[in-house]
Structure 1
Amino acid sequence: MGYGGVRMTTESLASTVTLNNGVKMPRLGLGVWKTDNASAAKSVSAAIQAGYRLIDTAKQYGNETGVGAGILEGLEKTGLNRKDLFVTTKVFNGDQGYESTLAAINGSLERLGLTYLDLYLVHWPVDGKFVDTWKALEELYYAGKVRAIGISNFDVERTQELLEYANVTPVINQMEFNPLNQEADVLAFAKLTGTVLEAWSPLGGGAALNNETIQTIAQRHGKSAAQVIIRWDWQRGVVAIPKSSHIERIKENADIFDFSLSAEEMQAINELDEAKRDLWYSDFAWHNADGHGFKDSVDTWPDSPENYAD
């Protein structure tokens, strides 16, 4: 199966997509948004032991420390090496800008207990900042501190603006993507540029999981609604990072390789698109249309530090 001219391997949890810079990235991974440090550590360790190799976090999530602990435990219990994993984190909105981004990566690496990142993303296109942030990511990429760089939550307009100044094309655009919000324009533009779309919130919450069409398809295959949605992502060529704090659910989410969706089933899910984002750019306090000033804070879950500054 191809994605925008990108080559893909055979189907298993170890399957990868070859990004536009030649780096291989797992096609299915674990997300940890809205997870505290203790839960993140357990989830990440369990996921690695279950065969996951892609782990996605962000400074804004307030759980990089927990993710790092989970990575360490997972590697110890499986006998794997750091190079066997693909770890993503993101530039915090409050750190965006050229010099501040160059400095910010050190805090993330320290919290994660790592010496390099596999993928570093611009978390949101902060007004007046994201081009300079991208320039810093390019420098980190050239210096070998990150293996690949990409963007997150960039619509077509802002992606086009970034590309006017970029020397490196983003390998990934991570977007809210699920059956009810399929980002048709972003996906089409990503294919044109050789950028892979990665889905955050791929399951779409209760509205998608309880959708009658998806439930009917799930019953037909003897699978859960979540498994059908993740399989749909897979067949669409979208990298997915479903979040779960439950070990059995983490395992279940990866059990999608003993069935496939027919063309008719794929089309039926495609037709569920409402093109309605639950969370978008204009919702954030730091968004300012004239490009002057922004504010933001790290998410604080029960065990997250109140002051998460580098």
Structure 2
Amino acid sequence: KTYPGKIVFNGSQFSNSSFQEPVINVSANIINHTTGIVSTRIIPSAYILAILIGIPSNVFLLACLSRRKNLSSCILYFSLAVSDLLLLLSLTLRVHYHLSNNNWIFGELACKMVTACFYGNIYCSIHAHMCISVMRYLAVVHPFLYRTMLKTYYAIFTSLSIWMVFAIAMTPEFLVQQSYRVLGQEQVTCHDIQSYEKASNRALIPYRLSLICLGFILPSLVITFVYGSIIYHLKRSSHDWKQYMKASTLVFGLFLVCFAPCNALLFAHYVKLYTQQQYDLYYYYRAAVCLCSFHSCLDPFLSYLLTKTSTSQVKFRSFSSRALKVLPTS
């Protein structure tokens, strides 16, 4: 999220200006990063692959979910598929941007919308995963509580809450300039370069650090606890849960592989930018963020895998050695 730069002047300040974006001066090193092979070839190639797989698979998943009768089990998966689909759709304009040598032609408003949609839906997806994992935890570890829950109500409430929270959380992205024309270059960047001379832009650093804590660190801790508890309890069961445990381990592992690197790099980048005014980690973050897009195209397949391993009515042995029926959560 953004290399630093210094604003030279605003195009709107000059009546004879042929452009609208503020002009920003950046180092040659930053220009090399934004026009190098990673940014103009590798990143868009990864996005294209994610789009080609993810959009059809998520549309298919939404179509399947719309025909399911078990409403409570579909709502969270539906929310996850919608957030993944919106994220992948936002990548289409990013692909054009990267293939055009990081030159944004769609205007400031579109840049703000794509930026907010991209990051907002990443965090919505992470929180949807957290809610799904909590429901599975309750079904396995606390089946009596799960049976008495108003599952449809809680699923609707949590889904709407997630969307509202991150819609509000993305508001600051609309309040600052996102697109800049690079001095001496035929290039308009979108979100990749920002000036931290203004107080409003400097305030973005603690805002984005807190967003990482809310959007990734908190749900990751919950998901880690939940999957650890599920596997621990299933291992103590006298029944064969190997298939479900393997599926749960795969889902948890892919979650960490796809989301942990980019969020860890982003957090370290902003800490380093805030304390040392250094931005070298952003280059690696831009590559790591491709993994988030891959998770969006894998989600439909992972959802199907977990569904197949949990729909059968199996028995779970509780601590009191009483046979409990584990309720399907999908």
If the TM-score is normalised by the length of the shorter chain, which range does it land in? under 0.3
Higher RCO, 1 or 2 (CA under 8 Å, sep at least 6)?
A: 2
Please, what TM-score do these two structures have when normalized by structure 1?
0.25
| Structure label with greater radius of gyration | 2
Please, what TM-score do these two structures have when normalized by structure 2?
0.24
Higher strand share: 1
Higher helix share: 2
